[in-house]
Amino acid sequence: MDPPTPSNPSLILVVDDDHGLRFLVTTALEQAGFDVIEAQDGHAGIMAYLEHHPDVVLMDVMMPGMDGFSACAELRGLPGVEHLPILMMTGLEDEESITRAYDAGATDFITKPINYALLGHRVRYMCRSSQITEQLVTSEHRLSNAQRIARLGHWNWDAVTNEIDWSDEALRIVGLAGTPSESSLDEFLSRVPGNDKHRVRQWFHRAIALGEESDLNHCILGHDNSERYIRQQVEAILDDTGQVAHLYGTLQDITELRQAEARIRRLAYFDSLTGLPNRESFKESAKQALELAKRHDRQGALLFLDLDNFKRVNDTLGHNIGDLLLKEIAALLQQAVRVSDVVTHNVFKDKAYDLARLGGDEFTILLPLISRPEDAAVTARRIMELLTQSIQLNGHDVVVTPSIGIAVFPRDGDSVDGILKHGDMAMYHAKRQGKNTFVFYDDSMNQAALKRLMIENQLRKALDRNELSLHYQPQVDTFSGRVCGLEALLRWHNPELGLMMPLEFIPLAEETGLMLAIGEWVLATACRQTKAWIDSGAQIAHIAVNVSVLQFVQKGFPACVARILEETGLEPQVLELEVTESLLMKDAECAVQTLQALKTIGVQLAIDDFGTGYSSLAYLKQFPIDRLKIDRAFIQDIDQDRDNAAIASAVIAMAESMALKVTAEGVETDAQLGFLKATRCDEVQGYFISYPLSTAEMSRFLAKTEEPGSDKTGQSAYRAVGE
Ligand code: C2E
Ligand code: MG
Ligand code: MG
């Protein structure tokens, strides 16, 4: 500490009734570089202190009026005077005075007669130690403030007394501030809630036994008895024998930190809309479940659920209602799976299932332990039952159904991604099977999916590589057997897949959108070829071309047909478009408009596969169609099956009454033909007359049925077949 300098002298107050002594003391101190003020008794001394705030007080004990003991005691009682150095001047060997002086709060004493040569040193030392004390007090104050702000407390356990000395902040944190007995471990443990008590006691005992650094997070009851969370860290001080003599510990209130962590966890692992676990969270649970199943040779199941008509709800009622629906579904699913606890026993006591939302309208239900795959089906069935009830959303009645794919693990996959993929594939199969159903994954799905992928890849290149072709099947007049028309049927020759029939690839072409380009190619090719045949003299009244639903629903379809007719030069009335009954029934209103637009162009319209699509007769009347084609299924046993015979006759009679032409498909025998002749079906088509033929074969076929020479009346195809 710096000695007093002229610019920074310490101020000393000398209180003594002896004027001469005061003078000598003052002179000695001034020579040592101090500033000095004087007072002649205790009372004057206090007044002088209050006015000048000296750094050190030298006080005689015996004075008239207020003596030195009373003045010292009164000074000490003033605020901020706790650490002021007060030096009492007593008579030599006046032990009683010395004791009284300390009792009154004196810092030290100095005996008379005073050694003036040493006085300056003595006082300087007092100044220095007072400054150090002050700094210490300030830094302690700062430290405790910082600890209070950081909610950080500290404690010290003494091995000899087995007591704990807590810092103020530590006591506040553990809710013991202000309690009288607060030094024992038991007292502290009384603040630790039940579950954690044992753990904390063990931790303390381990720290004492091992003398190692360690930490522990646990719950504690705060000052208002609310549950707080603290982090403790401990360090041991060993004695000479290597035993723990002290434990120094810190404890910090980390409740807010934990809450923030929990919030972050919620955001990272939960779906904010439904509150359900999200994909990440699901994957973690699934990983555990899978490992457990593998380790214990058990099985679990994943239900992969997708809502069937969610997109429509979203599109028609808006996203707000869509969101509401998802929340509602989440609640219903929770209800449905909760009951599954019964199924999954109580090995996973608190968690018999894990419900999660992967995103959009996709949910997963994980059953970590099932006895048989059938258990998963029970849950799937319950979900379907619960979901199919109608749900009220803001005044709208909404009905949703689920498609559920089930993967059983580890059988159907030994990684989480594998199970998810297979659950998804099975769900996709459920959709293809007409939705609102559940399907178990099995390996053939994998094979089928691979095959589909391969077909799709090849199909994308089919047009460019000229792998598509058309076959033509004649349609003949039932009575004369003369060829009236042809139906164009698509074929696909692929070097790897071989000959592919339309039913093997058209659904895929529709799903992938490739059918638009393919359909246009079919239409153009059939029209161009027919025009060529007609130009070379063949009598073809109509060329029937099948239209895919994908083409039909395109806004520009009628315009496309018109353009192709224009480009190929085929008369519109020669083209007959075949649309299926189910296509028309899907959206009858819209279908009527498109059919009318096509009629305006002048083409003929036929309903294909009639009888299989549950047509409403009322609608049938609205459709501007020209022909019905009775499906092969009704023709097959027409000569034996009375029901089929009745249906075919009824359709033919109805068509006649509605002035529609009728074609029977799939005529394979003479007997069938006989029946159709008897019921006056207009035209027939089938293997009995001819298989579908390639372009070259059809050219030859047409040449055979056209009589060379003067009149070009068509010959009976029956005869042509016979030849
Ligand atoms: P569809 O329009 O009803 O065509 C008749 C189907 O029955 C053809 O099968 C034909 O080969 C077959 N068939 C004809 N006569 C007989 C018979 O006497 N007995 C038996 N068992 N079958 C007979 P294909 O060529 O395999 O075509 C199947 C379906 O694929 C067609 O049924 C049609 O719906 C669709 N399709 C064919 N080509 C096209 C096309 O270019 N575009 C579209 N969109 N669909 C097409
Ligand atoms: Mg057809
Ligand atoms: Mg048909």
514, 545, 546, 580: residue to mutate for ligand 1 pocket, most atoms within 8 A of CB: 546
Supply the pLDDT for residue 180: 58
Architecture of the domain defined by 468-491+515-722: Alpha-Beta Barrel (3.20)
Identify the residue whose C-alpha is closest to ligand 1 atom 8: 489
Distances in Å between the alpha carbon of 108 and those of 104, 122, 131, 150, 254?
11, 10, 16, 39, 46
Identify the residue whose C-alpha is closest to ligand 1 atom 30: 502
Nearest CA-CA partner of 64 in 43, 36, 93? 43
Give the confidence band of 354 by pLDDT, cuts at 50, 70, 90. confident
pLDDT at 250 over 50: yes
Q: How far is the CA of 618 from the centre of ligand 2 (A)?
A: 23
- Which ligand neighbours the alpha carbon of 688 most closely? 1
pLDDT in tens, 278-295: 999 899 999 999 999 999
pLDDT at 244 over 60: yes
- Which atom of ligand 1 is nearest to 631's Cα? 3
Instruction: Read off the pLDDT of each residue in 82-97 and give the average, rounded to a whole number.
Output: 86
C-beta of 666 in contact with ligand 1 (< 6 A): yes
Higher pLDDT, 145 or 560: 560
pLDDT at 722 over 50: no
CATH class of segment(s) 11-146? alpha beta
Give the number of other Cβ atoms within 10 Å of residue 283's Cβ: 17
> Average pLDDT, whole number, for the chain?
89
Mapped onto helix, strand or coil, the DSSP state of residue 175 is: coil
Distance between CA atoms of residues 424 and 404, nearest Å: 8
Supply the pLDDT for residue 346: 37
Token match 């000569």: residue? 639
Identify the residue whose C-alpha is closest to ligand 1 atom 4: 489
Supply the pLDDT for residue 428: 92
C-beta of 473 in contact with ligand 1 (< 6 A): yes
Nearest CA-CA partner of 171 in 221, 233, 235, 246? 221
Higher pLDDT, 91 or 643: 643
- Which atom of ligand 1 is nearest to 667's Cα? 18
pLDDT at 618 over 70: no
- Which atom of ligand 1 is nearest to 687's Cα? 18
Nearest 10 degrees: CA dihedral of 26, 32, 37, 38?
A: -20
> Which own/partner pairs from 231-237 qualify as long-range (CB within 8 Å, at least 24 positions apart)?
232/203, 234/207, 236/207, 236/208, 236/210, 236/211, 236/212
Who contacts 621 (Cβ-Cβ below 8 Å, separation ≥6)? Answer: 658
Q: Domain 274-441, CATH 3.30.70.270 — does that match?
A: yes
Instruction: Read off the pLDDT of each residue in 89-102 and give the average, rounded to a whole number.
Output: 85
489, 628, 670: residue to mutate for ligand 1 pocket, most atoms within 8 A of CB: 489
pLDDT in tens, 302-316: 999 999 988 888 888
pLDDT at 245 over 80: yes
pLDDT in tens, 122-158: 999 998 988 898 899 899 889 888 888 888 999 999 9
Supply the pLDDT for residue 701: 93
C-beta of 608 in contact with ligand 1 (< 6 A): yes
State which residues have CB under 5 angstroms from ligand 3, the bound ion.
Answer: 608-609, 665
Supply the pLDDT for residue 718: 75
Give the confidence band of 107 by pLDDT, cuts at 50, 70, 90. very high
Supply the pLDDT for residue 704: 85
Distance between CA atoms of residues 378 and 365, nearest Å: 13
Give the confidence band of 341 by pLDDT, cuts at 50, 70, 90. very low
Identify the residue whose C-alpha is closest to ligand 1 atom 21: 666
HEC string of 646-692? HHHHHHHHHHHHCCCEEEECCCCCHHHHHHHHHCCCCEECCCCCCCC
Q: How far is the CA of 545 from the centre of ligand 2 (A)?
A: 7
Distance between CA atoms of residues 531 and 555, nearest Å: 27
Cβ atoms of residues 232 and 215 within 8 Å: yes
Q: Is 425 exposed, middle or buried (0-12, 13-18, 19+ CB in 10 A)?
A: buried
pLDDT in tens, 162-221: 888 988 888 888 888 776 555 778 888 888 998 899 999 999 999 989 888 999 999 999
Identify the residue whose C-alpha is closest to ligand 1 atom 45: 546
Token match 């091995």: residue? 159
CATH number of the domain located at residue range(s) 151-253 in this protein: 3.30.450.20
What does the domain layout of the chain look like in residue ranges? 11-146, 151-253, 274-441, 468-491+515-722
Distances in Å between the alpha carbon of 365 and those of 184, 269, 362, 423, 529?
51, 16, 10, 11, 56
Give the number of other Cβ atoms within 10 Å of residue 216's Cβ: 19
C-beta of 490 in contact with ligand 1 (< 6 A): yes
Instruction: Read off the pLDDT of each residue in 21-27 and give the average, rounded to a whole number.
Output: 95
Q: How far is the CA of 665 from the centre of ligand 3 (A)?
A: 6
pLDDT at 637 over 80: yes
Higher pLDDT, 71 or 588: 71
Supply the pLDDT for residue 279: 92
Higher pLDDT, 647 or 585: 647
Residue 709 DSSP code:
S
Backbone angles phi, psi at 364, to 5 degrees: -125, 145
Two domains, one topology: 274-441 and 468-491+515-722: no
